[in-house]
Amino acid sequence: MFDLTREFAKEQDQLDPLKTYREQFYFPQRNGRDAIYFCGNSLGLQAKNIKPAIEQELQDWKDYAVEGYWGAKNPWLYYQQYCSKPLTDLVGASQDELTVMNTLTVNLHLMMLSFYRPTKERFKVLMEAGAFPSDQYAVETQVKMHGYDPATAIVEIAPRQGEHLIREEDIFEIIAQESSSLALILLGGINYYTGQLFNMQSITEAAHRVGAVAGFDLAHVVGNVPLKLHDWNVDFAVWCSYKYLNGGPGAVGGAFVHERHARNIDQQRLGGWWGNEESTRFKMEKGFKPKSRAEGWQLSTAQVFNMVALKASLELFESAGIAALRDKSIKLTNYLEFLLKHIENIKFEIITPKNCKERGAQLSLLFHDGGKHIQQKMTDAGIIVDWREPGVIRVSPAPLYNSYGDVFHFYEIIANIDSNA
Ligand SMILES: *Cc1c(COP(=O)(O)O)cnc(C)c1O
């Protein structure tokens, strides 16, 4: 299906139905040309429609001041909905189950306050060993806040000795073992280090069978792999918007609350006026009446300038379509894998699952030694990829703006790296 020639990459780029999107992004410049940017899993590139979108809000603020809440071109009162609408397709949820607010870790805490309600019998949280540090800290501190000891309340699932990936059967095994003590399963939908994509549907089913809640951190999934959060019955999910979604550094985060919880206004939560029913929000009366949808978890006024880049970027996702993006992504990443298998001058192991259904765009290259040195060589040659301790270079071609040519060029450069120099 693939071959090692430059012509092949050129041909694939010409055939690519999404090829025009690349020109709609700014690429950082290295050595007088566009960098080979495979770091969209860490910080997505800036789309060219973002600056005019920000300028529109600056103009409306200038022209309308407070009246912009209802009188701006995009009334600020409902700004989160300009993002939650295009997100419905990306995550497979109704708009009532979605909102954008705060940032990922804040949203994880808010969701845990609602859905991690430990009792003396059922107080444990199952998570990945070596989960992203922010998730570890969030779970550790929540467990402590409820008066439990992280050493016993947090159950970690790790790869088996000598393996890099977590086996699904081992997750089910632990769920069965802890069936009466498990309160919450919290996994990264894609593990940030290995790039392993979990089967969220079957994990959610397993959690529900034993009476536990299933929540996911989708930082590495949204905008990368299509989801069906509603149909899978996931209880809640959170994500950030600056990775595959290109919302810009520190952009507003997203949250999903399944309809069966979102509609339940008696669900415990921390309240703020922006989550209150709109009809009574400005009456300044006593008594919090949450909206009967995911927006019922919002606390504060819509953060317009923190959402505008995401809104603009999501317009591109909407027009490209997540299904088409995923098709291209599978091909691009398979192509990258094919080329990497022909590399002989540097030694590494690809630890990401080989099956494209168990991964997104990212491949993780594990170096037993000298990886940092190789990453520096890549950087010097105009490649932007990242290094994650203790030994991984993560390489993520993003289908919205990366090309087959980028992948080939990356291969050509690293095939000529002298690892001893
Ligand atoms: C990127 C990432 C985060 C970042 O959290 P912020 O609150 O946005 O800083 C959290 N969890 C995972 C798994 C991530 O990949």
Q: What average pLDDT does the chain have?
A: 96
CA separation, residue 410 to residues 1, 8, 57, 182 (Å): 19, 14, 39, 45
186 in contact with ligand 1, CB cutoff 6 A? no
Predicted pLDDT at 279: 84
Query: Taking the domain 54-317, which CATH number applies?
Result: 3.40.640.10
Distance in angstroms between the alpha carbons of the first and the last residue of the chain: 35
The yes/no answer on whether domain 6-46+321-414 falls in CATH 3.40.50.9100 is: no
- Name the pairing type of β-strands 124-128 and 154-157: parallel
Which tokens is 263 given? 């509609």
Rounded distance from Cα 240 to ligand 1 centre (Å): 6
104 in contact with ligand 1, CB cutoff 6 A? yes
Is residue 79 scored above 80 in pLDDT?
yes
220 in contact with ligand 1, CB cutoff 6 A? yes
196 in contact with ligand 1, CB cutoff 6 A? no
Is 220 annotated to bind ligand? yes
The span from the CA of 53 to the CA of 60, in Å, is 11
Q: Quick one: which atom of ligand 1 is closest to the CA of 188?
A: 13
CA separation, residue 225 to residues 89, 114, 185, 339 (Å): 11, 27, 21, 22
pLDDT band at 278 (very low <50, low <70, confident <90, very high): confident
The span from the CA of 215 to the CA of 107, in Å, is 12
Is 60 annotated to bind ligand? no
Q: For 228-268, how does the pLDDT look when each residue is reduced to its tens digit (9 = 90+)?
A: 999 999 999 999 999 999 999 999 999 999 999 999 999 99
pLDDT band at 306 (very low <50, low <70, confident <90, very high): very high
Q: For 10-25, how does the pLDDT look when each residue is reduced to its tens digit (9 = 90+)?
A: 999 999 999 999 999 9
Predicted pLDDT at 285: 79
Q: For 167-206, how does the pLDDT look when each residue is reduced to its tens digit (9 = 90+)?
A: 999 999 999 999 999 999 999 999 999 999 999 999 999 9
| Residue of the CA atom closest to atom 14 of ligand 1 | 219
Predicted pLDDT at 284: 74
**Three-class SS of residue 102?**
coil
Rounded distance from Cα 31 to ligand 1 centre (Å): 31
Q: Could you write out the DSSP letters of every residue in 11-54? A: HHHHH-TTGGGGGGEEPPEETTEE-EE-BTTTSPPEETTHHHHH
Rounded distance from Cα 149 to ligand 1 centre (Å): 24
Q: Which amino acid is at 370?
A: G
139 close to 106: Cβ distance less than 8 angstroms: no
Domains of the chain, by residue range, sit at: 6-46+321-414, 54-317
219 in contact with ligand 1, CB cutoff 6 A? yes
* pTM of structure: 0.97
Q: For 25-73, how does the pLDDT look when each residue is reduced to its tens digit (9 = 90+)?
A: 999 999 899 999 999 999 999 999 999 999 999 999 999 999 999 999 9
Q: For 322-346, how does the pLDDT look when each residue is reduced to its tens digit (9 = 90+)?
A: 999 999 999 999 999 999 999 999 9
Q: Quick one: which atom of ligand 1 is closest to the CA of 220?
A: 15
Is 273 annotated to bind ligand? yes
192 in contact with ligand 1, CB cutoff 6 A? yes
Q: For 365-380, how does the pLDDT look when each residue is reduced to its tens digit (9 = 90+)?
A: 999 988 999 999 999 9
Is residue 420 scored above 90 in pLDDT?
no
Rounded distance from Cα 105 to ligand 1 centre (Å): 7
Is 132 annotated to bind ligand? yes
Continuous segment of H or E residues that includes residue 213:
strand 213-217
Assess whether the region 6-46+321-414 and the region 54-317 belong to the same CATH fold: no
